[in-house]
Amino acid sequence: MTSPKVWKPSKKSIKQTNIFQNMKALGFDVYTNFWRWSVDNKEAFWKRTIQNLDIPFHKNPTQILNLSKGVTQAEWLFGAKMNIADACFQANPKTTAIVYQKEGGAIQEISYLDLENLVNRIANSIKKQSLQKGDVIAIDMPMTLEAVAIYLAGIKAGTPVATIADSFTANEIAVRLQITKPKLVFTQDVQLRAGKTLPLYEKLVQANAPKTIVIPVADKAITLRKTDIFWKDFLVDNTAFESVSCDPDDTMTILFSSGTTGEPKAIPWTHTTPIKSASDGYYHQDIHPGDVVAWPTNLGWMMGPWLVFASLINKATMALYYGAPIGAEFGKFVQYAKVNMLGLVPSIVKHWKNTQCMESLDWSAIKCFSSTGEVSNPIDYTYLMGLANYKPIIEYCGGTEIGGGYVTSTLVQTNIPSTFSTQALGGEFLLLDENHKENIKGEVFIIPHSMGLSNQLLNREHHKVYYEGTPLYNNEPLRRHGDQMQLLDNGFYKAQGRVDDAMNLGGIKVSGLQIEAVVNTLDFVQESAAIAVPPTEGGPDQLIIYYVEVKKTDKSIALKEIQQLIKYQINPLFKASDLVVVSKLPRTASGKVMRRSLRKDYISL
């Protein structure tokens, strides 16, 4: 077995980083002092970051930060008028904005100028559909050139964009449409992935979606509902469009994240949230103008919008591969696109390691990897480093309601696989035990305020979810997050999973209650509890389901039925690894299922 390999930056490589250039300008020799300054002087840090990112305004802010409503309702860029889509087109117009490849196709590219022209055509087309500022549009399609252009056009037109992952079932799509109530939905007829043709438009019809714009990608023609329009009939030719002026706190995107109830949390991103995404990309993934940035993802997950803003605001090139990132063709795309920063989830790396499909490729252009979504395995990640001649991996953990990461790594510090070297610049957190005392291992509580932190939820009481019952720090409430972390002896951090009922499966956050609600509909199940358990060797969590039987059922048959139900009712990417039959589920005095107890029991089996 290979031991985890430690990467140490050279003096030369450190001097090339964005972090070093800012440390030098501010007179810092030690990174930790720079991080401390970024936390103790948040207004100065974020003002400098906004200048570094070249964020344009229609009207300059009168204050970087206004706390008149308290730290839980911080108002960033107070008094400004802006549209964050403008910040995505500050690069040289001739520079490549997106390099992309359809599965089995040739590599193509589009310049910043041509992308902005396409965005403007779509924005004009949206206005032609009689949508007004504040009306919501939705996108349910893969991460393609058109999807990115539609996304930016919606923002530029002042119509917030609800993003829905293309893997969701019709039921899950319907829930998200009911919450956001879009006036217009964008999709493809089908999704072509890994040699399969998967339905997209059909699922939206089943979800009773409103008026839908359909982009055909299959050879076979489809018939639309009377209300719906094909892409070519929707798109106008006018390439001139002035971005709609917005307040910094206006909603520009609605993303979904599973909490501890069955219905997903609808989290608005404002025009300031992308600054956090781009800031992390600038400092921690060290994205420079002209860099090529790839991260297989979808606009329905946080990392989709993150990729858009972290690449385009930093004047880099976004690399999009339309197929599944699990075979050699994706690896060749990374090679020929000369990707400099490649983001991943651990499940993908495990597949690469098992199949050895990336071992004959030239990934010498990669200067770093990045990883999020799941707990990683240090052996797998040492293997990943080796695919690019031992380049570092920026471990990155955050949340949709943060707009980026709260704990991460850098290219100016030692890099150890599967650990985080620092709290993210501009933010700070504490680890508290069950008695709310500071500990080296515990639940993450964020010290507000920081750019990117959400101030509202569409379908929940924001204060109740994040602040109710939390301890005070310096006479201000801490913000709960739900992750568990451990502070190691070397000052690094290691992820310990979740403390609530949420879990990360294949890089996708889902509530255990969502899975349980589906499993409980089976005729042989009285009640169930879904838990996520890390493998003994480390790495992505496995889904384990405990249940009380109504009638005895063969385990293999029960597992097959549960797999099918989860696949069709929730997400085809989720898979139960094991079932455990119990006479009753352990509960607290108040009747809550003790999932922590079940995790401990399963690990000890």
**Residue 451 resides in a domain:** no
Those residues with Cβ within 8 angstroms of residue 486's Cβ, 6 or more apart along the chain or in another chain: 431, 440, 441, 493, 494, 496
The domain that contains 522 carries what CATH number? 3.30.300.30
Instruction: Write out the DSSP string of 25-93.
Output: HHT-SSHHHHHHHHHHTHHHHHHHHHHHTT---SB--SEEEE-TT-GGG-EEEET-BB-GGGGGG-S-T
- For residue range 584-595, list pLDDT tens digits in order: 888 755 556 777
What is the pLDDT at residue 480? 95
CA distance 227 to 493: 52
What is the structure's pLDDT at 603? 81
Burial profile 508-523: b = 16 or more Cβ within 10 angstroms, e = fewer: bbbbbbbbbbbbeebe
Q: Give CA–CA dist 422/425, Å, rounded.
A: 8
CA 483, CA 345: separation in Å to the nearest integer? 17
What is the pLDDT, as a whole number, of residue 238? 98
Check whether 127 has a pLDDT greater than 60. Answer: yes
In this structure, is residue 106 part of a structural domain? yes
Over residues 498-518, the pLDDT tens digits come to 776 666 676 676 767 778 878
User: For 95-104, 505-514, 534-543, which range has the lowest pLDDT when averaged over its residues?
Assistant: 505-514
- Burial degree of 361 (CB within 10 A; 0-12, 13-18, 19+): middle
Q: Is residue 120 part of a domain?
A: yes
Q: Which amino acid is at 475?
A: N
DSSP per position, 237-256:
-----PPPPB-TTSEEEEEE
Which residues lie below 8 Å from residue 329, measured CB to CB, with a gap of 6+?
A: 103, 104, 321, 323
Q: Determine what percent of the chain is predicted with pLDDT higher than 70.
A: 95
**Rounded Cα–Cα distance for residues 444 and 568 (Å):** 34
Helices (runs of H) and strands (runs of E) counted in the chain: 18, 32
Residue 152 lies in a domain: yes
Q: What is the pTM of this model?
A: 0.88
- Domain annotation covers residue 363: no
In whole angstroms, give the CA distance from residue 532 to residue 545: 9
Q: Mean pLDDT across the chain, nearest whole number? A: 92
State the pLDDT confidence band at 373, using cuts at 50, 70 and 90.
Answer: confident
CA distance 152 to 162: 12
71 to each of 22, 185, 400, how far by Cα in Å?
27, 36, 19
Residue 552 has pLDDT above 50, yes or no: yes
The pLDDT value recorded for residue 260 is 41
Could you say which of 179, 199, 234 is where a domain stops?
234
Q: Is the peptide bond before 462 cis (omega within 30 degrees of 0)?
A: no
Q: How confident is the model at residue 1 (pLDDT cuts 50, 70, 90)?
A: very low
pLDDT recorded at residue 588: 59
pLDDT in tens, 159-217: 999 999 998 989 999 999 999 999 999 999 999 887 888 999 999 999 999 999 999 99
Last residue of a domain, one of 210, 234, 258: 234
Over the range 46-78, which residues count as b (16 or more CB within 10 Å of their CB) and which as e? beebbebbebebeeebeebbeeeeebbbbbbbb
Burial pattern 347-360, b for ≥16 Cβ within 10 A else e, equals: bbbbbbbeeebbee
- Asked if residue 455 lies in contact with residue 249, where contact means CB atoms within 8 angstroms, the answer is yes
Of 207, 234, 261, the residue at which a domain comes to its end is 234
Confidence (pLDDT) at 261: 44
Q: Are strands 190-193 and 196-199 parallel, antiparallel or unpaired?
A: antiparallel
Confidence of residue 280 (pLDDT cuts 50, 70, 90): very high
Cα–Cα distance between 320 and 297 in angstroms, integer? 9
Q: Is residue 516 part of a domain?
A: yes
Q: What is the dihedral of CA 18, 19, 23, 29, to 10 degrees?
A: -130
CATH value at residue 193:
3.40.50.980
Averaged pLDDT, 138-159: 98
What 3-state DSSP class applies to 119? helix
User: Does 179 map to a domain?
Assistant: yes
Of 408, 397, 451, 407, nearest to 429 by C-alpha is 407
Nearest to 167 by CA among 562, 572, 575, 576: 572
Q: Is 591 left (phi over 0), alpha (psi -120 to 50) or beta?
A: left
Q: Decide if 541 is inside a domain.
A: yes
Residue 259 has pLDDT above 70, yes or no: no
**Which residue range forms the structural domain that includes residue 547?**
501-604
- At 11-26, the pLDDT tens digits run 999 999 999 999 999 9
Q: How many domains does the chain have?
A: 2
The amino acid occupying position 338 is: K
Q: Which residues have C-beta within 8 Å of that of residue 465, sequence separation ≥ 6?
A: 259, 265, 457
Q: Quick one: pLDDT at residue 247? A: 98
- Tell me the per-residue pLDDT of 431-487, one tens digit each, with 9 for 90 and over: 999 899 999 999 999 999 899 999 999 999 999 999 999 999 999 999 999 888 999
DSSP symbols for 463-524 = HHHHTTTPPEETTEE-EEEEEEEEE-TTS-EEEEEESSSEEEETTEEEEHHHHHHHHTTSTT
